[in-house]
Structure 1
Amino acid sequence: MDQIRWIIMSSFLMLLVQFTAARTFFYPIVKVGDDVTLSCENGMDDQDQCEGVVWYFVNPRNKGLTLFEHGQIQAKSDRLSVTENCSLVIKNVKHDDVGRYDCGHFRSGKLHGEDTVTALYVVSMTEQKDDDTVTLVCSVSGYNINCFHTVSWRYGETDVGVTQGSCSAIVLFLTQSHLNPKFYELLKCKVTPKDSGNVQLFSFSPPQSSSEKPGDDATTTISPTAN
């Protein structure tokens, strides 16, 4: 059984490399903690409840893992599930979910129809407080080490903060008390793929504090956008 499985997965990976013209590509961007559904556009109608579908994952360090095979989840994670149309659902996305997801339909050990390749990008945001200064960092991680996105902060309709290298941006502000929650409602991390220019905005969720009351006023100064 292990030998048969190895032959199937080897054939899958070889076909993924050789027949790139028959592949469907997706490049979703999702924030840490959100859910995402990855489509399997393999063009097969008689999937027999996804019995012949294989989901394979490769992380940025080129380590592979079979997630779904023989109609069952193979990876030990309660965050993974597969829908009736063989899409892969990832709940509560984590930074470790960054990578490439390959989906193909096998019959008698051979890949049939188109295979689907999804490069999942994950947005993470952190907050660091130092006396009266608060620093927010937004970064985008992907399977490839190269940066294919422009990252910045937006407050209302205005871009603020400083864009750094490696797909990240930083914004600093001063406060004399705990921030007004309305400030966070207007503050977004702005991610723009360089190839499409389609802007996506991601909200920052501030950590809860027992001493913070909704509606507390605060004095805030935001650093201007760097030229």
Structure 2
Amino acid sequence: MGITNKMSLFLILLLQLTAVTGKRFFTVKVGDEVTFPCTNVMDHQDKCDGTTWLYNESGGTAVVTLVDRGQVGEEAKAKSDRLRVTENCSLGIKKVTEEDAGQYSCRQVRSGQQQGEDALVYLSVVRMTEHQDNDEVTLRCSVTTNGWCRHTVKWLFNHQDVDEYQKDMKTSKDSVTFLTSHVGYTSGFHLFTCQLTDDYTGYVSLFPFSPSSSGLLRVIVVSVGLAALIMIVVAVNIWTRIKEKKTQMDEISVRYDVDDGIVIYENI
């Protein structure tokens, strides 16, 4: 079966799964933005005044009211600058963190009474990190789940399975280790991709790796430091040669004057 047919079949199964369970699943990377649809939203609302968004932390029992009748709730003030409610009452979250993983519920209320069942959304958050020990680098792709989902992690290099095609790389459950002599910061790191497979839905997500700001800063500092060192060495070398040439010229001038029987005192 071709890739296109497989994708079509998968989308059909995913739509059927969503229709049957009423649940939606999202997997995003730390720092990304995500918007959850409210699939049970009622008509004829004034600025979503009949919509409430609830949050249940991954593995926890406490429920936090993020949005109360269309407005960011008091319990969510700490991250109110990251939350927004769209015109169709969807919930948007900016700069996603690992702490955002969990279950989200869109509830419809009219005249103080809940209307129908909650529309449920499950969020998993991916964090990608790097650790360098001398010439050895380890990339890790960890997932904070919502308590419902489980993911299988696989590393790809240049769109190929690391385990199958890259014999000089070592992989574990969620990491890959290699030597910088084989893969450089600027030329090879972007070829790594973390592939996540949702064990519940079978959905596959791909997250290309990019060096962290600290990693890039380390490379920039080393590069700038090396360039500065080279400039200093070159400057010292030039200065030394100029001084040697000037000294040689002064010595020749003094000897010439002495040979003529004339002694001239100069400030050198």
Same fold (TM over 0.5): yes
Alignment match of 1:159 (pick from 135, 158, 161): 161
CA contact (8 A) 2:54 2:104 kept: yes
SS at match of 2:22: strand
Provide the rounded CA distance (Å) in 2 between the counterparts of 1:108 and 1:131: 65
- In the TM superposition, residue 112 of structure 1 has moved relative to its aligned partner by 1.4
Aligned to 2:68: 69
Q: How far, CA to CA, are the matches of 1:38 and 1:140 in structure 2?
A: 19
Matched, 1:138 2:141: yes
Matched to 1:154, the amino acid is L
Q: Of the two structures, which has the highest relative contact order with CA contacts closer than 8 Å and spacing of 6 or more?
A: 1
Does the CA contact (< 8 Å) of 2:159 and 2:193 recur in 1? Answer: no
Q: Do structure 1's residue 54 and structure 2's residue 52 form an aligned pair?
A: yes
Change (3 A) 1:126 1:65: same
8 Å contact kept, 2:34–2:92: yes
Residue identity opposite 2:42 in structure 1: M
Matched, 1:92 2:95: yes
User: Match for 2:150: what amino acid?
Assistant: F
Check if 1:148 corresponds to 2:150.
Answer: yes
Given that 1:31 and 1:93 are in contact with CA atoms closer than 8 Å, whether structure 2 keeps it comes out as yes
Q: CA RMSD in A?
A: 2.2
Structure 1 residues 203 and 191: CA distance shift in structure 2, 3 A: same
AA matched with 1:62: T
1:107 Cα deviation after fit: 0.6
Distance in 2 of aligned mates of 1:85 and 1:55: 13
Shift in Å at residue 51 of structure 1? Answer: 0.3
Q: Is the Cα–Cα contact under 8 Å of residues 23 and 117 in structure 1 kept in the other structure?
A: no
Alignment of 1:6-17 (within 5 A): none
Contact 2:194 2:209 in 1 (8 A): yes
Aligned-pair CA distance for 1:202: 0.4
**Kept in 2: contact 1:191–1:200 (CA 8 A):** yes
Give the total of aligned pairs: 188
Q: Distance in 1 between matches of 2:129 and 2:90?
A: 30
Query: What are the Cα deviations for residues 5-60 of structure 1, in whole angstroms up to 9, with x where unaligned?
Result: xxxxxxxxxxxxxxxx9972101100111000011111411122100100000102
Please give the TM-score of this superposition, normalised by the length of structure 1: 0.76
Runs of 4+ in structure 1 deviating by more than 4 angstroms, as ranges, are none
Structure 1 regions of 5+ residues with no counterpart? 1-20, 214-227
The structure carrying a bigger helix percent of its residues is 2
Percentage identity across aligned positions? 43
Aligned residue identity for 2:90: S
**The residue matched to 1:181 in structure 2 has which SS?**
coil
Change (3 A) 1:203 1:157: closer
Q: Which one of 122, 128, 131 corresponds to residue 128 of structure 1? A: 131
Q: Which structure has greater strand proportion? A: 1
Partners of 2:20 and 2:137 lie apart in 1 by 48
Q: Distance in 2 between matches of 1:35 and 1:23?
A: 25
Residue type at the aligned position of 2:68: E
Matched-pair contact (CA < 8 Å) for 1:57–1:99 = yes
In the TM superposition, what are the counterparts of 1:1-227 in structure 2 within 5 Å?
24-60=22-58, 61-74=60-73, 75-76=76-77, 77=79, 78-144=81-147, 148-160=150-162, 161-164=170-173, 169-176=174-181, 179-207=184-212, 208-209=216-217, 210-211=220-221
AA at the equivalent of 1:117:
L
